[in-house]
Amino acid sequence: MTERAVAVTRTGWMPSPALAGAIVVGVIGVVAAFVMSRLEPALIGIPLLLSAAWGWDRRPAASVDPVEISTAVTVDETGRSGDATLGIHVAASATQGRGTQRPDALHLRLGLGGAGPVEAVVTPRTAADLRSEVPVVHSGPQRVAAVEARALGADAAWASTPTDEAAVERVVRPRRAPLRSLPLPARLLGLTGQHISTRPGDGGEFRDIDLFHPGDRLRRIDWKATARAGRGIDLYVRRTTATSDAAVHLALDARDDVSAVVADWPRAYPRPAVSSLDLAREAASSLAAAYAGAADRIGFDDLGESRRVLPPRAGARHRERVLRAIEATAANGAPFTRVRSPRLAPGSIVFVLSTFLDDQPVTLALTWRAAGHRVVAVDVLPARDARELPARDRLALRTIELERSLRLEQLQSGGVELLVWQDAALREAALRVLASGRARR
């Protein structure tokens, strides 16, 4: 998959900080030489003033003459979760005098992946063909690469204003884990599906043998049971249980996104590591795909946004809508507190995917459990790496861990079941336990 972003900008020339700094330092050196009656400050100031005068003399024909910079970013993705090959092409031309020539250098500001911006000064020939490997670590919406450029004149005395940013953004699909066991709601209220319900109907397993009643189908008559009864008047039919579908609601808490490295939690540009939203998207996508494969109805809600909830529905088109909504979830940076909990379909099973670092997901989960739904709390907080923390921060982390464990105990005491997602072996074992029987109301 190849994506390309192009920005063509015409900017004006302006004196660079180097020219202004040379003039200021040069004047200070000359004045200090006269005041102190010493030659050394003048030996520093006079060359700077001469270089500033030389740079001013070599300025563009007019300070408003435009410089045109074309920035193109091309990204070739080598794999869904691998690295991306980045190609950057920057071409600049400036109008000076009668002709058009290339600037002496280009000042680039590069943003690659989730790392902080990097600045570099390169020649136009080097900027015309830059290559780099960008690690694609996280899933969801992200900026793969962004480039800003400005032209530099002779000796960097003159520079253009920064250009428009050329950026490539994409949504990376999360990895989906195969799930062999799926928990079901306490009651199956759907009319069609692949799960065996407790009510009588067609298409399920054998339930019992009963007398023929008006409305029973003739093909249901069990002639062997009728013959064993020894009566020629009464007919007996085989009754089966009906098949049904499940209503599944995925509530993803995307209000925060924390890295596995605890020292990077307050940083604007954390190092590449698995984050809580990566695990949440993976869990939500895996559950949605698994339940959709069983022809169940799936709903989705992002607890970090106030947008419309996707109600539980079945079908391939709705499944793709849910998967796209999961892939597009991102931490918005501002907490969003719900005034009231979202309304769910009757008899739903609710998966609350959160780090449980605050009380809001706990309150919602307990509210849904009190309303009669089966609720499973999916812990998506990655394993914490606290090796780089000082002693004071380690104590703060222990306090956060204690508060979180109390919230998880509160959930379990309120009838909410717990599923830790990160460990694959423990996750599969927990899913088998959850799927072995339906929770009682």
Query: Which tokens in the block code for residue 327?
Result: 């892939």
Residue 13 main-chain phi, psi, to 5 deg: -85, 150
Q: What is the pLDDT of residues 233-245, one digit of tens each?
A: 777 766 665 566 7
Query: Which tokens in the block code for residue 13?
Result: 């020339």
Compute CA distances 293 → 284, 316, 418, whole Å.
14, 9, 23
pLDDT at 69 over 70: no
Q: How confident is the model at residue 84 (pLDDT cuts 50, 70, 90)?
A: low
Of residues 127 and 328, the one with the higher pLDDT is 328
Residues above pLDDT 90, as percent of the chain:
21
Beta carbons of 288 and 326 less than 8 angstroms apart: yes
Residues above pLDDT 70, as percent of the chain:
76
pLDDT for 441 equals 41
Compute CA distances 310 → 114, 288, 300, whole Å.
30, 13, 5
Compute CA distances 329 → 115, 153, 305, whole Å.
20, 44, 9
Average pLDDT over residues 56-75: 62
pLDDT at 322 over 90: yes
Q: Which residue has the tokens 């928990």?
A: 183
Q: How confident is the model at residue 17 (pLDDT cuts 50, 70, 90)?
A: confident
pLDDT for 117 equals 87
Average pLDDT, the chain: 79
pLDDT for 401 equals 93
Of residues 12 and 325, the one with the higher pLDDT is 325
Predicted structure pTM score: 0.76
pLDDT at 198 over 70: no
pLDDT for 224 equals 72
- The alpha carbon of residue 307 and the mean position of all alpha carbons in its chain are separated, in whole angstroms, by 17
Of residues 139 and 73, the one with the higher pLDDT is 139
Residue 226, amino acid: T
pLDDT at 77 over 70: no
Average the pLDDT over each of 143-152, 247-256, 394-403, 411-420 and give the range with the smallest value: 143-152
pLDDT for 189 equals 59
Beta carbons of 195 and 241 less than 8 angstroms apart: no
Other Cβ atoms less than 10 A from the Cβ of 275: the count is: 27
Compute CA distances 28 → 17, 99, 381, whole Å.
16, 38, 58
Q: How confident is the model at residue 63 (pLDDT cuts 50, 70, 90)?
A: very low
pLDDT for 221 equals 67
| Sequence-separated (6 or more) residues with CB below 8 Å from residue 370 | 414
pLDDT at 247 over 90: no
Pairing of strands 297-302, 310-313: antiparallel
Average pLDDT over residues 118-145: 82
pLDDT at 440 over 50: no
